Amino acid sequence: MTTENKIALKVNKISKAFPGVKALDQVDFSVNAGEVHAFVGENGAGKSTLMKILAGIYTPDEGEIVYQGKTVSFHNPYQAIEEGIILIHQELSLVQELTVAENIFLGQLPLKKFGRVDWDELFGKTERILSQLKCDFKPFDLVGSLSIAYQQMVEIARALSREAKLIIFDEPTASLTDSEVKVLFENINELKKKGTAIVYITHKMDEIFKITDRISVLRDGQKTGTLNTKETNRNEVINLMIGRDLNEFFETTSHEIGEEVLRIEKLNRDQFVKDVSFDIKAGEVLGLYGLVGAGRSETAESIFGIIQADSGKIFLEGKEVKVPNPKKAVKLGIGLVPEDRKNQGLILGMACDDNMTLPRLGIMQKFGFINNSKQNSIFSEYADKLSISTPGPNQAVGKLSGGNQQKIVIGKWISLNPKLLILDEPTRGIDVGSKAEIHKLIGQMAGEGIAVLVISSEMPEIMGVSDRIITMREGQVTGEFTREEVSEEKLLLACAHK
């Protein structure tokens, strides 16, 4: 497929170790000019470490990087950027208080005499890039006022502004709508035509087969294979990732559905939630499905007391309740696993056991001191129950893989034995193996009588885990389907814009 003179970047026997962990072990790969080369693997397989080495964030312990025909060694990200290598992180790296234009051209602002910013040129350049990406927001909009999906588009626009020779996309579509994904793929194809080399990291198998030319697989820091996309299939890729077949993972669990736990009636909140009504029963998994902006997360936030609804009623076990804040929600037996686990669900610098027991600090302390033995006991119980892989309870949670971080967020709530648990995008940004474990966990929680509300943008997920599915569009409920009657076509029709 390739010839030597087309190779944009070649990595030879790269290794990298951290205390107690061999993150990369003798990894080889290459990416060609005008090629999209996917990297897949479970969380903790070494993908992010490898990409950070390419971007100058980490220095390898051994091995060689050959870029544009020359052996290179980057000691900081600026050196990589100067050479035309751009890493678009999964975690956004934007300055919330600056405009879209300033973020896109940060470090390369067009200047007039005496070092003044040429605002006309800046906004003009930005307008052209946003038009190319078909973005609805403006160059002068503050980034902090944009949705997560729009902020992701700003990250992509920043890479385009630098005319990079090699772009590394790390989960670029995690927060994008279907229409935004389509635009992104169109731009990736344009970059390919211009000879840009692209490394693409994703957990979404359908994306890999739509956009990539080759696929490299990492497992436990080692490369297990490189495949031509057109000559392989989903099962072969997953087998290289996890060492077993996909069919071993997905199973439909049956559980007894009991009495009503939650009912909301005519809930309204600004333009985001409009007369939303539904109920959830004990032992039931209710799926909430819709496009980004449909009002799903806003509905969950209103139930959990993060933001007050303008009107409507909330009933818990048949009694009307007021939920003025999350503290009250927790007292009532409601838990929320938020969409953005790193910013809303965890304190990344804090230890695993501290994160796990955060909602129960009031009952974990005596005379202002934490009962450490009780805390460790709770963590050990749920680390074992949820198969959380960590060196120990004192490990900073920010050092864990995405899948293990998500399990700690979930464990934090189920350790309180909630009546209702809301899961907002529970498998966002985690690998297929961890996804399957969380899907299984959702079934187990329902089997224990917990009412589970699952919000997901992934159609296979919402159809696979839900007993019943509510669809939303533009803040309104547009449909309701049982597991037996639902189909992809029905969900798409219910969520499609008028």
Residue 44 counted as domain residue? yes
Higher pLDDT, 45 or 111: 111
What is the token pair recorded at 496? 């499609």
Residue 253 counted as domain residue? no
What is the predicted pLDDT for the residue at 251? Answer: 54
CATH number at residue 479: 3.40.50.300
Cα dihedral 285→468→148→492 (10° resolution): 160
Q: Exposed (0-12), middle (13-18) or buried (19+): which is 66, by Cβ within 10 Å?
A: middle
What is the predicted pLDDT for the residue at 107? Answer: 82
What is the band of 3 on the pLDDT scale with cuts at 50, 70, 90?
very low
- Written as one string, the DSSP assignment of 350-400 is SBHHHHHTGGGHHHHEETTEE-HHHHHHHHHHHHHHTT---S-TTSBGGGS
Calculate mean pLDDT across residues 214-218: 94
How many distinct structural domains can be found in the chain?
Answer: 2
Higher pLDDT, 226 or 427: 226
Domain that holds residue 112: 4-246
Spatial contact of 409 and 337, defined as CB atoms under 8 Å apart:
yes
Same structural domain, 239 and 352:
no
Q: Which residues of 162-173 are buried (b: 16+ CB within 10 A; e: fewer)?
A: bebbbbbbbbbb
Same structural domain, 55 and 189:
yes
Same structural domain, 354 and 474:
yes
pLDDT in tens, 454-471: 998 878 889 889 999 999
Same structural domain, 425 and 293:
yes
* pLDDT above 90 (res 479): yes
Same structural domain, 116 and 194:
yes
Q: In the beta sheet, which residues pair with residue 396?
A: 351
Q: Pick from 246, 279, 305: which residue ends a domain? A: 246
What is the band of 91 on the pLDDT scale with cuts at 50, 70, 90?
low
Beta carbons within 8 Å of 235's beta carbon, 6+ residues apart: 245, 246, 247
pTM: 0.62
- Written as one string, the DSSP assignment of 432-446 is HHHHHHHHHHHHHHH
What is the distance between the alpha carbons of residues 361 and 392, in angstroms, rounded to a whole number?
20
Residue 254 counted as domain residue? no
Same structural domain, 147 and 173:
yes
Same structural domain, 265 and 242:
no
Compute the radius of gyration of the chain from its Cα atoms.
24
Residue 252 counted as domain residue? no
Q: Pick from 189, 221, 246: which residue ends a domain? A: 246
Same structural domain, 242 and 300:
no
Residue 459, classed as helix, strand or coil, is helix
